[in-house]
Amino acid sequence: MKKKGLYILVLLLPVQIVFIIFLAGYPELVENWYSRFLYPEISKLMRYGHGFLPFSLGDLLYTFFGILIIRWIIRRFQQKFKNPRFWIIDTLAVLSVVYACFHIFWGFNYYRLPLHETLEIENDYTTEELYQLSEILIRESNKLHNQLTENDSVSVAIPYSKNEIFEKTIEGYANISKDYPELTYKGESLKRSLYSIPLSYMGFNGYLNPFTGEAQVNTQIVAYKIPTTASHEIGHQLGFAKENEANFIACLSTMNHPDAYFRYSGYTFALRYCLNELYRRDSEKFESLKAKLNPGILENYREVEEFWLAHQNPFEPLFQAFYNRFLIVNNQADGMKSYSYVVALLVNYFSEEKNRL
């Protein structure tokens, strides 16, 4: 009976893959039946179930499974990979279960409607519209920088502890949910990753554990970046699986935050995306706008760059390449380049806001 069950699981793996390929063609079905109906209940159940734990359950599970994988590899070498029919069946059965859990607990969200369709805004824009938005973001960023520092040449330092930043991140979602009920966040499960140091060397700010629903934040990064990173991971928890959409939601939450430090983090986060895209489209306009920035804002950007430069290593490109491939496989055709889509969302969001006023 045990072997029969394993064979069934193995046979279900290609069935699941075909089903995912089929489902990718029906984003409205995923949106209505999974992302808006089933997933919110699954997600809240997981968050309420172990969100109260002061440590990352998901990181502990990854450690446990990592040990099991190492033991499995050692045993295969000890047995000189004999009887492959048996261990290959076992391996495929486990992969089938993991693949199913990944999609049921969270992964189907990759195939929902694009966020711009949900918000009913456009996903294209002109260079002139990008330039105008960049000017708005620079004015607001400079204003906040002047408010938070006495010198326009010094960087802004977040005065809160990391636990306080987490608490204020949740406050930001409570504030934004008044206008966007779909961003209501209940059953908090925002954790410091036990793997913050390894994540720094891998080049990641944080991640969502799809098997426990915990939002994991790399708390080794520059404190100025933690508000947008934590907000980004909560965006994933709420079912917005694509990186660009979670980035936009992080902008939305922090730019509308009642706390000025969070607004500064949010506006400068959005501004950097816009300036990078403007540089790609029109380097002369980019230079003219860059000259208008308070030097202290550039100093904040420099601090972030220095952090990542200090953690560069020969293996980082491998991790980035793996994650890029993961994004492509999971319905993000441009891989990590798809992050630039956040600019389109920002331009059209601000355009809609202006029209409402």
Q: Tell me the pLDDT tens digit for each residue of 194-206.
A: 999 998 988 889 9
| Rounded CA separation 228/169 (Å) | 8
- Per-residue pLDDT tens over the stretch 211-246: 999 999 999 999 999 999 999 999 999 999 988 899
Domain that holds residue 309: 115-356
- Per-residue pLDDT tens over the stretch 60-117: 999 999 999 999 888 888 877 777 777 888 889 999 999 999 999 999 999 999 988 8
- Per-residue pLDDT tens over the stretch 154-168: 999 999 999 999 999
Check whether 320 has a pLDDT greater than 70.
no
- Which of 60, 82, 111 is the last residue in one of the domains? 111
CA 41 centroid distance within chain: 20
Q: Cβ(348)–Cβ(125) under 8 Å? A: yes
Statement to judge: residues 32 and 81 lie in one domain: yes
What pLDDT does residue 80 have?
A: 75
Statement to judge: residues 219 and 268 lie in one domain: yes
- Which of 111, 130, 160 is the last residue in one of the domains? 111
- Which of 91, 111, 131 is the last residue in one of the domains? 111
Check whether 354 has a pLDDT greater than 80.
no
Sequence letter at residue 186: K
Cα separations (Å) of 189 from 61, 238, 259? 16, 11, 21
Q: Which of 186, 175, 265 is nearest to 221 (CA)?
A: 265
| Rounded CA separation 171/108 (Å) | 28
Statement to judge: residues 15 and 131 lie in one domain: no
Statement to judge: residues 181 and 81 lie in one domain: no
Statement to judge: residues 129 and 198 lie in one domain: yes
Kindly tell me the sign of the dihedral angle through the C-alpha atoms of 301, 303, 307, 312: positive
